[in-house]
Amino acid sequence: MTRQEMHELALDYLQKRLTTEEKAKVFRLIEVDAEFLQVLSFEATLLRQFEQLKTTAPAGLRKRVQERITAATQNPGKVIAGQVIHYILKGTLPQIAWAVYQPWQRRVFAYE
């Protein structure tokens, strides 16, 4: 088992993403492989250190992101059409017109 695979297995174990068979493999490795035990300890230390850095997103931001995701999934044709029009206009408009169109598009579509 490579070191990278050990790190992935240890992280999956700590994040509780393993099947019963994979957990049994981890327990066997802990018993017989000192290197895997070091990797597991290292990953656990990293998780504890990063846990302190976690912050929750502001409620307003979370709500806006959720609304945008909901709107995009409920009407995917609108999103696709907007992207198609964007690339058509970008390819056909002269550069000066594109420079004027882009800020206008942002203002209009931001408030639709």
pLDDT recorded at residue 109: 54
Q: How many CA atoms lie within 13 A of 88 on its CB side?
A: 6
Integer angstrom CA distances of residue 112 from 63, 104, 108: 17, 13, 7
Q: What is the pLDDT of residue 58?
A: 83
Per DSSP, the residues of 61-81 read HHHHHHHHHHHHHH-HHHHHH
**What confidence tens digit (pLDDT) does each residue in 57-112 have?**
788 888 888 888 887 777 766 667 777 877 787 778 777 777 777 776 665 555 44
**Mean pLDDT lowest for which of 13-22, 39-48, 52-61, 73-82?**
73-82
Return the number of other C-beta atoms located less than 10 Å from residue 29's C-beta: 20
Burial class (CB in 10 A: 0-12, 13-18, 19+), 67: exposed
Whether this model's pTM surpasses 0.75: no
Is the pLDDT assigned to residue 25 strictly greater than 80?
yes
